[in-house]
Amino acid sequence: MAAGPSAVAGPSKPKPSKNTKGKNGPRQPSKVKKLSEKQQTEQLEKAVETFVASDDLKLFADLPISSHTKRGLKKSFFVDLTDIQRKSLPVSLKGKDVLGAARTGSGKTLAFLVPVLEVLYRKKWGPQDGLGALIISPTRELAVQIFEVLRSIGGFHTFSAGLVIGGKNLRDERDRLSRMNILVATPGRLLQHMDQTVGFECDNLQMLILDEADRILDMGFAKTLSALLSHLPKSRQTLLFSATQTKSVTDLARLSLKDPIFVSADPETEGLATPKSLQQNYIVCSLEQKLDILWSFIKSHLQAKILVFMSSCKQVRFVFETFRKMHPGVPLLHLHGKQKQATRLTVYQKFTGTQHAVLFATDIAARGLDFPAVDWVLQVDAPEDAETYIHRVGRTARYESAGKALLFLVPSEEEGMMAALEKRGVKVEKTKIRQSKTQSIENQLQKLAFQDPEIKYLGQRAFVSYMRSVYLQKDKSTFKLEELPAEKFAASLGLPGAPKIKFLSKEIAKKKKNAQRIVPGTENQQITEATPHESSDEEEGSETSEGEESGSEEEEGGAKAPAKPSKGTGVRTKYDRMFERKNQSILSAHYTKLVDHGVDGEEEEEDFITLKRADHALPDDGLPESHTVSKRRLKAGASKKAMLKYKGAPTKLVFDDAGRGHEVYEMQDPEEVFAGAGAVVEAGRRFVREERGKLVKADVVDKAEAREKKRERKRRRRERERGVDEGEGEDGPAVAPVADDDGYVSPEFDLPSGDDVDGATPPPRKRSRKLAESGEGRKLAESGEGRKLAKSGEGALEDEEELALRMLRSRR
């Protein structure tokens, strides 16, 4: 069967040629699409330039933004515009600098994220263009929240976005940083990458956004922000948003803003820093009652979502740990800056997703965080200023929802804090706490501190940290450390006593050191009575010491004070100034007037202030020397050598049988010991007799010990001999005798002396080989008699003869 054309191997449909590829039209839709995108971008730019916001602008769909952004907003259920968005978006979309101010929860995040996406989209920003927009947030949690909103509304764009915050792996961020188009970061970590990461450049930056701008421009971030701005180009668009916006010319000049436009909320609520739906109250209570009221409030609001603000991390941790052990019946969480980043994000997500919980937090949760459905915001510790109060209460009543806020104030803080809030237009009503509903937890805290040392340690640190936070506050008219009951506050924390506050004791010591050493109440009179010569000397501050007093010219006895040397006489040391001080040996003039130096007379009513006392006469040679010793002298006196030098040799007493004390080396009176000339010789003889008696006694004891040792040696020798005699009849090796001494036996060498060399016995003759090899010889050698003969002197002639006779008899 012949194969037809259909049998040819190959594809069923031949490929079109290269020439016909462009004609058939597979590329035609892409070209049309590119042309349409370019046209859409041009039309979008024209629409933005010609857009004028109308009064009835209410929807995002009415804005001149791309379809990608509209789809992202619709997917995230952002449809209606808020007041700040309605006013800021038409301006920021045109590329102008904006200062946005609106109360908390009014939608400021979308007001700067939408322009970021639109500006980069219209400029056709790609991965090769580098970083196009930089968003800076003061806290990590707020940065995470901004990044999540950016991901939700920018999902249909092709930009790459990144999050750079502290607490994460720096190496992983370095690898991806160069590919980012939009970056959300905190100031510290961003500056670290700008200084250390290779390839991270911001030369092509188009937009800079500062969320919570007043906090970033504050003194806490001043150095970091200045360093960041040095890395950024000046030709950029800058957007600043905050609930308490700054209008400082100095701050705005640092940011290099170009004709910024200030945008705020609608005129009806422009003067209100907090929303109308927020109910605000405050209570006045003593410092030791705060934890009792907080515990009672939580127990009575178990079905609420509560956010509790405190001034320090250690307070947050102490309250969380103690309340957790007391089981209030509602989930407890805590958030502060000392936690690791993973823990902080976990706590943030848990509190966001729960309906009923209590979160104890510091001011890191006060700005920007959007916790849904927070019912109560409690401020156990007063905020540092009115701006912090506004941001704290802004965590509730977010965007048309209702909320309540309660502020705890001690009596010394009420007046100053209320004045600061009224100045900002915040009205807070005073309320009272029912004492019958308040439950005291002081005994429970004491029990926890007693059982668990960790709780006690946390309480001590919480006490010190609160005192330090009050001490470091700038507004001293509101925060008065000296009026706080430290002992009662420590007892309310379960502590047995108030811990020592080191920074406060140092401050008191510093004040005492710098204070003038003058009698209280004499300052004014000292100044008025000072002579012109003395006042001129006082104006030369370098020549007069701090504690120098300008006393009167005349002393108590009427003598004039010695004149001070002039400035040109020579160098004056501190010792010269010390000896030139006046009034060292007399009372001050004012105090002298109060003392009645007259004779005790009739008491008059007008003299009720006069001090009736005896005027004690002082010795003519003046006051005694001061007992104050220099530090060098005290340090030198600590050594034993110095103590011997100044105090002499130490003494030691020895008591006799009668209980009388005597010195160790007590010397007798020689006159009592030696009455006359012959007594000296008699005393010497008596001493010799006493010593001889002692020697006789010692000799008797030594001889008795020697006799006892001799007896012991004889006894041991007899025991050894008796043991040798008993073992002679037995075959086998003999036991070596026990040595007479302690175990060491001197070796004995059998060497002939010079006298008996001639009488020495000759060496034994060798046995014949025949006798040694014969069986009789072996039997005799193996028998006990052979061993005895070998031991008893086998070299003797008699032994040889006896051995030969026995062998002859055995052969017969």
Q: Which burial class, exposed, middle or buried, applies to 485 when counting CB atoms under 10 A from its CB (0-12, 13-18, 19+)? A: middle
- Residues 455, 528 share a domain: no
- Residues 532, 578 share a domain: yes
What the block records as the tokens of 238 is: 């800058």
Q: Is the pLDDT of residue 210 over 80?
A: yes
Split at pLDDT 50, 70, 90, the class of 799 is confident
Q: Has residue 120 been placed in a domain?
A: yes
Q: How many CA atoms lie within 13 A of 37 on its CB side?
A: 10
Q: Has residue 807 been placed in a domain?
A: no
* pLDDT of amino acid 31: 55
* pLDDT of amino acid 748: 52
Average pLDDT, integer, range 557-575: 51
Better pLDDT: 699 or 529: 699
Number of domains the chain is built from: 3
Q: Is the pLDDT of residue 453 over 80?
A: yes
Query: Distance (Å, rounded) from C-alpha 307 to C-alpha 398?
Result: 14
722-777 pLDDT per residue, tens:
887 665 554 544 445 544 444 455 555 554 444 444 444 555 555 555 444 455 55
Spatial CA neighbour of 176 closest among 154, 161, 156, 196: 161
Per mean pLDDT, which range of 194-198, 504-508, 785-789 is the poorest?
785-789
What the block records as the tokens of 112 is: 């700067």
The 10 Å CB-count burial string (b at 16+, else e) for 588-617 is: bbbeeeeeeeeeeeeeeeeeeeeeeeeeee
Domain boundary among 596, 619, 643: 596
* pLDDT of amino acid 675: 64
Domain boundary among 437, 465, 500: 500
* 20-27 LR contacts (CB < 8 Å, sep 24+): none
- Phi, psi (rounded to 5 degrees) for 707: -60, -40
Domain boundary among 564, 596, 628: 596
Split at pLDDT 50, 70, 90, the class of 565 is very low
Per mean pLDDT, which range of 242-246, 625-629, 728-732 is the poorest?
728-732
CATH number for the domain that contains residue 481: 3.40.50.300
- Residues 461, 483 share a domain: yes
User: CB of 803 within 8 A of CB of 779?
Assistant: no
* pLDDT of amino acid 329: 94
Annotate 93-107 with DSSP letters as a single string. TTT--EEEE--TTS-
**Residue tagged 């940011």 (tokens):** 255
Q: Has residue 348 been placed in a domain?
A: yes
Q: Is the pLDDT of residue 247 over 70?
A: no
Per mean pLDDT, which range of 158-162, 263-267, 320-324, 387-391 is the poorest?
263-267
- Residues 468, 338 share a domain: yes
Q: Has residue 703 been placed in a domain?
A: no
Q: Is the pLDDT of residue 325 over 70?
A: yes
Annotate 266-297 with DSSP letters as a single string. -TTTTT-SS-TTEEEEEEE--GGGHHHHHHHH
What the block records as the tokens of 398 is: 């977010």
* pLDDT of amino acid 146: 94
- Residues 353, 287 share a domain: yes
Count H helices, E strands: the chain? 32, 16
Q: Is the pLDDT of residue 569 over 80?
A: no
Q: Has residue 247 been placed in a domain?
A: yes
8-26 pLDDT per residue, tens:
344 444 444 444 444 444 4
* Cα dihedral across residues 287, 290, 293, 296: positive or negative: negative
- Residues 459, 532 share a domain: no
**Mean of all residue pLDDT scores within the chain:** 77
Q: How many CA atoms lie within 13 A of 560 on its CB side?
A: 4
Close Cβ partners of 430 (under 8 Å, ≥ 6 residues apart): 281, 282, 283, 284
Average pLDDT, integer, range 131-156: 93
Q: Has residue 707 been placed in a domain?
A: no
Instruction: Return the percentage of the chain with pLDDT > 90, whole number.
Output: 39
* pLDDT of amino acid 554: 38
- Phi, psi (rounded to 5 degrees) for 178: -70, -15
Q: CB neighbours (10 Å) of residue 714?
A: 9
* pLDDT of amino acid 468: 93
Spatial CA neighbour of 464 closest among 316, 336, 312: 312
The 10 Å CB-count burial string (b at 16+, else e) for 73-102 is: beeeebeebbbbbbbbbbbbbeebbbbbbb
- Residues 412, 315 share a domain: yes
Spatial CA neighbour of 225 closest among 243, 248, 208: 208
Query: Distance (Å, rounded) from C-alpha 287 to C-alpha 285?
Result: 7
* pLDDT of amino acid 580: 64
What the block records as the tokens of 424 is: 């900002």
User: CB of 369 within 8 A of CB of 141?
Assistant: yes
Annotate 297-334 with DSSP letters as a single string. HHHH-TTSEEEEE-S-HHHHHHHHHHHHHH--SS-EEE
- Residues 456, 313 share a domain: yes
User: CB of 493 within 8 A of CB of 462?
Assistant: yes
- Residues 283, 236 share a domain: no
Query: Distance (Å, rounded) from C-alpha 454 to C-alpha 567?
Result: 63
Give the neighbor-by-neighbor strand order of the sheet with 161-164.
161-164, 182-185, 133-136, 207-211, 237-242, 98-101, 261-264
User: CB of 282 within 8 A of CB of 409?
Assistant: yes
Annotate 741-765 with DSSP letters as a single string. SSS----------SSSSTTPPPPPP
Q: Which burial class, exposed, middle or buried, applies to 581 when counting CB atoms under 10 A from its CB (0-12, 13-18, 19+)? A: middle
Query: Distance (Å, rounded) from C-alpha 589 to C-alpha 572?
Result: 28
Q: Has residue 334 been placed in a domain?
A: yes
- Residues 454, 352 share a domain: yes
95-130 pLDDT per residue, tens:
999 988 887 778 889 999 999 999 999 998 988 888
Q: Has residue 468 been placed in a domain?
A: yes
Q: Is the pLDDT of residue 664 over 50?
A: yes
Angle at 109 between CA 103 and CA 112, to 5 degrees: 110
Q: At what angle do helices 502-514 and 453-471 cross, to 10 degrees?
A: 40
Query: Distance (Å, rounded) from C-alpha 292 to C-alpha 323?
Result: 11
- Residues 492, 363 share a domain: yes
Split at pLDDT 50, 70, 90, the class of 207 is very high
Average pLDDT, integer, range 686-691: 90
Residue type, 39: Q
* 71, 72, 75, 80 alpha-carbon torsion, rounded to 10°: -90
Range of 215's domain?
Answer: 40-264
275-323 pLDDT per residue, tens:
888 999 999 999 999 999 999 999 999 999 999 999 999 999 999 999 9
60-100 pLDDT per residue, tens:
999 999 999 999 999 999 999 998 999 999 999 999 999 88
* pLDDT of amino acid 374: 94
Residue 486 three-state SS = helix
* Cα dihedral across residues 442, 444, 446, 449: positive or negative: negative
Q: Is the pLDDT of residue 429 over 80?
A: yes
The 10 Å CB-count burial string (b at 16+, else e) for 673-701 is: eeeeeeeeeeeeeeeeeeeeeeeeeeeee
455-478 pLDDT per residue, tens:
999 999 999 999 999 999 999 999
Q: What is the 3-state secondary structure (H, E, C) of 671-734?
A: HHHCCCHHHHHHHHHHHHHHHHHHHHHHHHHHHHHHHHHHHHHHHHHHHHHHHHHHCCCCCCCC
Spatial CA neighbour of 85 closest among 74, 95, 100, 96: 100
Q: How many CA atoms lie within 13 A of 631 on its CB side?
A: 0
Better pLDDT: 419 or 511: 419
What the block records as the tokens of 693 is: 């008696």
* pLDDT of amino acid 627: 56
For residue 768, the 8-state DSSP code is P
Better pLDDT: 253 or 74: 74
Average pLDDT, integer, range 710-716: 92
Angle at 462 between CA 460 and CA 464, to 5 degrees: 70
Per mean pLDDT, which range of 81-90, 585-594, 710-719 is the poorest?
585-594
- Residues 383, 337 share a domain: yes
